[in-house]
């Protein structure tokens, strides 16, 4: 158990809908990362938050947005869903370490199926 | 483009044998990390090697790093069926992003 929790575990929805994925980082971790993992694209970095502020952005679509709240939990919002958005969405957290040496602790993921 | 690329894409060995996976990357890095993912589960951190280190051990794992060739290898000795998983290398350069390779699928047959 990594200490990172994600809800829900599974989500089935229809095209055009909007969903919210939730992540609670390990106690004390300030950074939260979101990743999308699909069969054809591998593990793609979406976005990182550090202590409530956006720190880095990766291959995140404009239809997707995220935020990190004062209690450090994070939400990833996916809107106008398309079939191709079906994937595993992972959240990871890390503690601040000097020299970018931190490692990430991954949650169990949310499996999204868009029908 | 992918920063890290694992090789081979898939590897099948017998229990007790050693498994070697390789990772190549393109730009300068601060560190390189290896993660394991059991089917459909979250990734688990295995080992981190800094850019000024050449070799690191952790239990049955041995990681090497050759910054001149921009490559790393992960050796799992005396493999077990429980080692069956996908293995990813992740690199981090001057920016904040972790970049993961496509992974090597390891199957350890009993």
Model confidence pLDDT, tens digit, residues B68-77:
999 999 999 9
Residue B85 bridge partners (DSSP)? B106
What's the gap in Å between the CA of A101 and the closest CA on chain B? 7
CB of A113 closer than 8 Å to CB of A86: yes
Task: Measure the CA–CA gap between A49 and B2, rounded to whole angstroms.
Answer: 22
Establish if B81 touches chain A: CB-CB under 8 angstroms: no
10 Å CB burial of residue B42 (0-12, 13-18, 19+) is buried
Contact A102, A94 (CB under 8 A): yes
Q: Identify the weakest region by mean pLDDT among A28-37, A61-70, B30-39, B91-100.
A: B91-100
Percentage of chain B beyond pLDDT 90 is 69
> Chain B neighbours among A 22-51 (CB < 8 Å)?
33, 35, 42-43, 45, 48
pLDDT at B104: 93
Summarised one tens digit per residue, pLDDT across range B22-63 is 999 988 888 899 999 998 889 999 999 999 999 999 999 999
Task: Check if the beta carbon of residue A101 is closer than 8 Å to that of residue B50.
Answer: yes
The pLDDT score that the predictor gives to residue B2 is 43
Mean pLDDT, chain B, whole residue set: 90
Q: Are the beta carbons of B33 and A103 separated by less than 8 Å? A: yes
Peptide bond into A8 cis (omega under 30): yes
Given CA atoms A38, A47, A68, A13 in this order, what sign does their dihedral have?
Answer: negative
Q: Tell me whether strands B31-37 and B43-50 are parallel, antiparallel or unpaired.
A: antiparallel
Pairing verdict, β B71-76 and B31-37 = unpaired
**Is a pLDDT exceeding 90 seen at residue A13?**
yes
pLDDT surpassing 90 at residue A100: no
A–B CB contacts, 8 A cutoff, strictly below? 59
The mean pLDDT of A65-82, rounded to a whole number, is: 97
Closest-CA residue of chain B to A46: B97
């Amino acid at each position: 158990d990594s200490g990172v929790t994600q809800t829900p575990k599974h989500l089935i929805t229809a095209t055009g809908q909007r969903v919210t994925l939730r992540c609670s980082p390990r106690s004390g971790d300030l950074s939260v990362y979101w990743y999308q993992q699909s069969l054809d694209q591998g593990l793609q970095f979406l976005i990182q938050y550090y202590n409530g502020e956006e720190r880095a952005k990766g291959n995140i679509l404009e239809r997707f947005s995220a935020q990190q709240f004062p209690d450090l939990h994070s939400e990833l919002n996916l809107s106008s869903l398309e079939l191709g958005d079906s994937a595993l969405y992972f959240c990871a957290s890390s503690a601040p370490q000097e020299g970018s040496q931190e490692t990430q602790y991954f949650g169990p993921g949310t499996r999204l199926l868009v029908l | 483009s992918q920063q890290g690329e694992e090789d081979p894409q898939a590897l099948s060995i017998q229990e007790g044998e050693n498994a070697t996976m390789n990772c190549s990357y393109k730009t300068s890095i601060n560190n390189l990390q290896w993660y394991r993912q059991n089917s459909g589960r979250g990734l688990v951190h295995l080992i981190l090697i800094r850019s000024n280190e050449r070799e690191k051990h952790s239990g049955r794992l041995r990681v090497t790093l050759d910054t001149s060739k921009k490559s790393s290898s992960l050796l799992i000795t005396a493999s077990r069926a429980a080692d069956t998983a996908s293995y990813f290398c992740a690199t981090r350069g001057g920016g904040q992003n972790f970049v993961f390779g496509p992974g090597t699928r390891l199957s350890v047959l009993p």
